[in-house]
Amino acid sequence: MTPALLIGVLGVVYGDIGTSPLYAMRASAQHFADGGLERWEILGLLSLIFWSLNLVVTFKYVTFVLRADNRGEGGILSIMALAQQGLTGARAKWIVAVIGMIGASLFFGDGIITPAISVLSAVEGLKVVSPAFEAAVVPIAIGVLLALFLVQYRGTASVGMVFGPICAVWFAVIGLLGLIEILRHPSILVALSPHYAVQFCLEYRLAAFIAFGSVVLAVTGAEALYADMGHFGRKPMRFAWLFFVLPALALNYYGQGALLLSDPATIVNPFYLLAPEWFRLPLVILATAATIIASQAMISGAFSIARQCVQLGFLPRLEVRHTSATEEGQIYLPQVNFALLIGVVILVTEFRDSDSLAAAYGLAVTGTFVCTSLLAAIVYYTRFRWPLLLVVPVFGAFLLLDVIFFASNVVKIPDGGYVPVVVGTALFILMSTWRKGRELLFARFRQDGLPLKSFIARLPQSRTTRVPGMAVFMTSQADFLPGALLHNLKHNKVLHERVLFVTVTNEPVPYVPADQRRTVDQLAPDIHRVALRYGFQESPNIPKELEALKDEGIPYEPMQTSYFLGRETVVAAAVPKMSRWRQWLFTIMSRNAVPATEFFRIPSDRVVELGVRVAI
């Protein structure tokens, strides 16, 4: 565990949660600012924020959830796949898949809101520097966000080297600003006691419940902590949190609380007013850089989650561009990037300030928290063999806290909470429709298809003309004859000398070891079945794998090989198994999916596509 590794953790993992002090304390305190903030109210809010950080991040994520890794990888879909591995029943696996889809859908909602609220809250510091900047806040924020999204195609490698040092400076600065104010008013540290949080909740009751919706803003980014585990491993992440990030955040929040005690008027922006006047403009620049880093981490996470959704069969094929020749995880998805950009610009122009966006933020985050707690409980029960007497109290407590946070954000739906609800619902409909449509499609293939063994058995008596070269037939059903081959025989009445039936399987693991990548079976002389396996963090490369078949004694010449693919046109069956609107949606998604040639990196000039109508 080197210093360079720890600095990298700060830049990639903790950028999101590290920018929460920009708005979390202000958003929480404004619920009670109408009649002036009293001392016990400020102490109660600080205690709630501090113990939320510890219960949600330190205990739930850092202590327990980080242990539930899928071969070193984390994230909502990774833990979903891990939970499914420990279950046997089809219905139980389906329920877990639904939880995973809901969590992934809400993650994308979070991915739209995070850049908008982070950059807006940073640029709003200009209003503290001078009121003359107020009209420029939204245009500057949009300009920063446009620049951020428009450079995504270049990849993160070129700018990633400076992320860590900037975040290290950021945490050191916010911690120091808080410490200076605490030294002026050390009595604020009594709010470390959970007594003040309990007193606050008992006194305010319903109002305290509503305040939870803003308090949770202090722990946004906890899910990103788990999702980024594969980059660094749990040990440096735990060390960085416990000995650097958490102390810096706690110092800044308590510094803001001390400032509010001494001058309640600073509630307009306690974060920036912590700094001396001469340092506020540099602090705005540093905060903007930190929020760009936080947004970059969320955008990269959205690219990764989108690819996982494709590999796990939740979304149609999307264009995946690799921005690094050495790092598999550095990818760029143009469709996802464009969708995020449009969503972010709409949010900034519609809400115009971070306080308004705060209402939209919490629902996506807390919904994902609930999904992660449910899946983690399943993993600890099925994989780690914890008894129910231990799983229920531990994860039941975490789930109760998550549900309270989630419910407190539900009341904010009319004020902006509808944004992640709309985004999440739309994405869940897309995912569930695609998954159901593919299941029906594969079932139809199996029902109407000719078993591969039957074809191989009849081939010697068929007198089929064999022509020079190799034919690669891509098929999703390894035991059935591809429709493309039947159409080729029907129309061209020939079969190539060498034939490969290639099936690509997506495994519920992040990476498949090289020695388990492919299985080759000889079905007849010069006819082989090749099964290729990929993890949900990998992108298929069919020609590269076929090149390796030379080690199996199968001669593969790229310029002598033709790839045959079937392009399905979905039509309604006599008795449709999907509602008309879902069938229409599935058809639209199928037509707009990235061509298999591009997704599998097959040379387009070596491809023969044969259309087939499939009724579902």
pLDDT of residue 29: 84
- Residue 59 CB partners (closer than 8 Å, separation 6+): 398
Inter-residue contact 19 to 113 (CB < 8 Å): no
455 shares a domain with 415: no
507 shares a domain with 400: no
The answer to the question of residue 428 being in a domain is no
- Going by C-alpha positions, the residue among 149, 246, 207 that lies closest to residue 33 is 207
Counting the structural domains of the chain, the total is 2
pLDDT of residue 401: 92
Place of tokens 């046997």: 88
The answer to the question of residue 306 being in a domain is no
pLDDT of residue 156: 59
The answer to the question of residue 434 being in a domain is no
- Going by C-alpha positions, the residue among 5, 6, 17, 8 that lies closest to residue 298 is 17
pLDDT of residue 273: 92
Q: Specify the amino acid at residue 412.
A: K
Inter-residue contact 304 to 230 (CB < 8 Å): no
395 shares a domain with 460: no
Q: Mapping DSSP to helix (H, G, I), strand (E, B) and coil, where does residue 541 land?
A: coil
pTM for the model: 0.85
d(CA 482, CA 336): 32
Q: How far is CA 428 from the centre of its chain?
A: 14
**Boundary-marking domain end, from 421, 439, 461:** 421
519 shares a domain with 410: no
The answer to the question of residue 320 being in a domain is no
d(CA 476, CA 313): 12
CATH assignment at residue 267: 1.20.1740
The answer to the question of residue 65 being in a domain is yes
* Domain residue limits at 405: 3-300+330-421
274 shares a domain with 142: yes
30 shares a domain with 91: yes
222 shares a domain with 133: yes
- Going by C-alpha positions, the residue among 159, 56, 606, 128 that lies closest to residue 365 is 56
pLDDT of residue 483: 80
Q: Specify the amino acid at residue 378.
A: I
397 shares a domain with 455: no
Q: Specify the amino acid at residue 204.
A: Y
d(CA 600, CA 577): 30
Strand partners, 607: 563
609 shares a domain with 485: yes
- Going by C-alpha positions, the residue among 568, 92, 589 that lies closest to residue 309 is 589
Strand partners, 532: 504, 518
pLDDT of residue 503: 92
H/E element, 502: strand 494-506
126 shares a domain with 38: yes
pLDDT of residue 328: 57
200 burial via Cβ count (<10 Å: 0-12, 13-18, 19+) = buried
10-residue mean pLDDT profile of the chain (616 residues): values are 75 82 87 75 91 93 87 84 85 91 88 86 84 86 89 65 82 95 93 90 81 86 77 82 93 94 88 91 90 82 85 88 65 88 90 78 86 93 92 94 90 83 91 90 80 84 83 86 81 85 88 88 89 88 88 84 82 73 88 86 84 71
pLDDT of residue 157: 54
509 shares a domain with 395: no
Quick one: tokens of 273? 């007013």
Q: Mapping DSSP to helix (H, G, I), strand (E, B) and coil, where does residue 179 land?
A: helix
Inter-residue contact 529 to 574 (CB < 8 Å): no
The answer to the question of residue 239 being in a domain is yes
First to last CA, the chain: 54
d(CA 540, CA 595): 13
The answer to the question of residue 179 being in a domain is yes
173 shares a domain with 119: yes
The answer to the question of residue 403 being in a domain is yes
Inter-residue contact 260 to 337 (CB < 8 Å): no
Inter-residue contact 503 to 529 (CB < 8 Å): yes
